Chains A and B, each alone.
Chain A
Amino acid sequence: MTGILRDLFPLVWSGMITGCLYALGALGLVMIFKSSRVVNFSHGNVAGFAAFLIYGFSSGMIMELSWGAAVLLAVLAVIAIAFMTYAVISPLVFESDLTATIATLGIGLIAQGATLLIFGADIVSLDLPVPRFSMSVLGLFITGYDLTVLAVAVVTIGALFFVIDHTKLGIAFRAISENPFAAEVCGLNLRSVHLFSWIVAAVLGVVGALLIVPTTFLSVTTVAAFMLQAFAAAVIGGFGSLPGALLGGILIGVLMNLFTFYVSPEFSSTFLLGVILLALNIFPNGILERVGGTRV
């Protein structure tokens, strides 16, 4: 009994940490889905491309900038990509969400190819400039990285919810995700809100990628693979709810950790498949739907 508990707490803790990262990815997917009804399959590949850009800008491969400047440049690049993506996709969005969704696969392929062309298929490492320390609290082994992830996630998600609740653009976003037609009749500009959500999503993706990469290494597929968990998180949250995505991310993080530890590390994707199918059938509108009163 104590043995199980001794394993359980650290597993849940580290699952929550990675879960926060999945949530960052999922929030981006949900932002785009809520405003424009498109599932953005290019999310992971574009975020991966951004991580490589940061590496390229800071390692001397392209330039030798400070870490902060490299991040800033990469974020600008990603915003430009989001802008171009939306420019290509926007005529489709108003016709068929499914066609627009297929088109994002094309964007993802291009982003992946561009990464390969510029940076090659090699594995590189990209670290976060965070204090290296660790401590033990109540049997939990907590590192500086954990705290950084938690802090960044809390600040980012808090800022996002604040923007959506209290700014003009955020209110327009909520109105459009409730009822695009009525919102447009009321004079809200759909396109600018769509663009807002695409750009916010892209930035969230970069933040998520930056935080996940130090735990492994950076290759063409790392970030894309990480985004798959984000997809599962978004599905669990109902794909249309921001708090649902947050909760879904943490849930996926913890469940995956428990599954790989107690059941099998080799069938984690199969486990995700099961979770997605189950969630879609039992909670087609997300886990928060029954609780009601979702905020955003």
Chain B
Amino acid sequence: MSDHPVTLGRFDAEEARLAGLKPADLLSLGLAAALILLPLLVGGSWIFALGVCFANSIGVLAVSVLVRYGGEVSIGHSFFAAVGAYSVAVLDTRFGLSLLASLPLALALGVVSGVAFAWPSRKLSGIYLAVSTMALALAVPELINNADGLTGGYEGLYVSQPVIPGIAMSLQRYYAALIVLVAVVYGLARLRHSRQGLQLLLAKAHPAAADAFGTRRVWARVAVMGISGGIAALCGAMLGFAGSTVSPSGFTLWSSIFLLVGSVVSFYGLSLPRALVGGAFLTLVPQFLSASGAWIPVLYGLALLGMILLGHYLPRLRAMIADRKGGV
């Protein structure tokens, strides 16, 4: 039993062939266009929830990219998200700088912390890495609380600087999150067809083969964690900006586990529709269940199990159906 098979994490035939492709691209473009126009149709609370949904979708992508390109599972991405969120919130409240300045900083710090975590854990994989990421997530809230001079401790910080002064803040929160989400999806689509992307995918499937063709394992791990950490930091930044507040309770081990749930629910997809499915699951389920919060973990747990079992049995079912058809 290998450590890497996360069985859902395969690019299926169509998806790979859809190299420069048509139908899936059209769906994504249509979806993006619909989301651009949506604020004309729906009201304020929906706009707010969708902004947070886009931010969560980015976080889901961060976890999925690690699964797809690294073959690894993380339950510690709240760490990188917190790095991004506090970059935005601290620059906003302490220095009065807007997202234009803080977003690049969030990205850079996210990449750096991804790399900084990847280095000491470079030899770990599978469940050992998962346990390390868990420890990473656990350290986050206390680190934030103990730096309360900067982070505001338990109470958190309020993000209020507009990107473009004069435009309604609610629209800015919505569109900024949407733009970053689309940019991340675009970047990941480019990664799939880049030299580095190919090398990472070979290193995931056959590290020894990748090594024999000049791709060192450590490079692959550090690169994947850097990308994933950077995207997670963008998620945190947009959670802060679109959600308007940043506090330690948003970056716990549970937040990390929820991001993984979102990733599993989206079948580790890296496209815009898949990411939105994961993000919507994380944002809208709590909205609908706000009356009885205790159902949230139950529902998330069931969804996680359900999707994993579906991923396990679906190929078998397909094969059975194909057999039956072939037999007739």
Chain A positions near chain B (C-beta within 8 angstroms):
33, 37-39, 41, 88, 91-92, 94-99, 101-103, 105-114, 116-117, 120-121, 228, 231-232, 235, 239, 266-270, 272-273, 276-277, 280-281, 284
Kindly state the separation between the CA atoms of A121 and B131 in the bound complex, as whole angstroms. Answer: 27
B13 CB–A CB distance under 8 Å: no
Using Cβ atoms and an 8 Å threshold, which residues of chain A touch B311?
Answer: 99
What are 6 A-B contacts defined by CB distance under 8 Å?
A92-B308, A96-B5, A101-B73, A105-B75, A106-B303, A116-B297
What residue in chain A is nearest B79 (Cβ atoms)?
Answer: A273
Q: Answer whether residue B124 sits at the interface, using C-beta atoms and an 8 A cutoff.
A: yes
CB distance from B320 to the nearest CB of A (A): 15
The answer to whether B7 and A95 have CB atoms under 8 Å apart is yes
Contact of B6 (CB < 8 Å), options: A94, A98, A235: A98
Whether A280 pairs with B138 at a CB distance below 8 angstroms is: no
Quick check: is B134 within 8 A (CB to CB) of the other chain?
A: yes
Using CB atoms, name the residue of chain A closest to B316: A91
How distant is the Cα of A71 from the Cα of B98 in the complex, in angstroms? Answer: 57
A109:B257 contact, CB within 8 angstroms? yes
User: Of the candidates B132, B136, B264, which one forms a contact with A102 in the assembled complex, judged by CB atoms under 8 Å apart?
Assistant: B264
- Interface residue tally on B, bucketed by range: 35 or more
- B297 & A97 in contact (Cβ 8 Å cutoff): no
Contact B298 A276 (CB under 8 A): no
Please, which residue of chain B has its CB at the minimum distance from the CB of A270? B139
Contact: A98 with B131, CB < 8 Å? Answer: no
Confirm or deny: B112 has a beta carbon within 8 angstroms of a beta carbon on chain A: no
Residue of B nearest to A88 (CB): B305
B132 close to A276 (CB less than 8 A): yes
Say whether, besides A96-B7, A99-B7, A281 and B305 are in contact (CB < 8 Å): no
Task: List 14 extra interface pairs beyond A109-B257, A269-B135, CB under 8 A.
Answer: A41-B134, A88-B305, A88-B309, A92-B312, A99-B311, A103-B309, A109-B298, A117-B292, A117-B294, A117-B295, A232-B135, A239-B127, A266-B146, A277-B132
Q: Tell me which residues across on chain B come within 8 A of A101, comparing CB atoms.
A: 73, 127, 130
**Binary contact readout B274-305 vs A (1 if CB under 8 angstroms, 0 otherwise):** 00000000000000000011111111111111
What residues of A have a CB within 8 angstroms of the CB of B142 in the complex?
Answer: 266-270
- Interface status of B10 (Cβ within 8 A of chain A): no
Q: Does B162 touch A at the CB level, under 8 Å? A: no
* Shortest distance between the CB of B319 and any CB in chain A (Å): 14
Q: Is the CB of B135 within 8 A of A273?
A: yes
Question: Min CB distance, B214 to chain A, in Å?
Answer: 26
Instruction: Write the nearest CB–CB distance from B117 to chain A, whole angstroms.
Output: 9
A111 contacts which chain B residues (CB < 8 A)?
A: 301
Residues of A with C-beta under 8 A to B198? none
The verdict on B231 contacting chain A, using a C-beta distance below 8 Å, is no
Q: How far is the CA of A212 from the CA of B127 in the complex (A)?
A: 27
Closest to B120 in A: A277
Is B121 at the interface (CB under 8 A from chain A)?
Answer: yes
Instruction: Give the CA-CA distance A114 to B296 in the complex, in Å.
Output: 10
Question: Is B100 in contact with chain A by the CB < 8 A criterion?
Answer: no
- Would you call B1 and A105 a contact (CB within 8 A)? no
Interface string of B85-101 (1 = CB under 8 A from A): 00000000000000000
Mask for B113-146, Cβ within 8 A of A = 1, else 0?
A: 0000000110110111011101110110111011
Q: How far is the CB of B171 from chain A (nearest CB, A)?
A: 35
| Inter-chain contact A97/B304, CB cutoff 8 Å | no
Is B3 an interface residue when CB atoms closer than 8 A count as contact? yes
Q: Which residue of A lies closest to B127 (CB)?
A: A39
Residues of B within 8 A of A98 (CB): 3-6, 73, 126-127, 130
Contact A103 B305 (CB under 8 A): yes
A-chain residues with CB within 8 Å of residue B146 when the two chains form the complex: 266-267
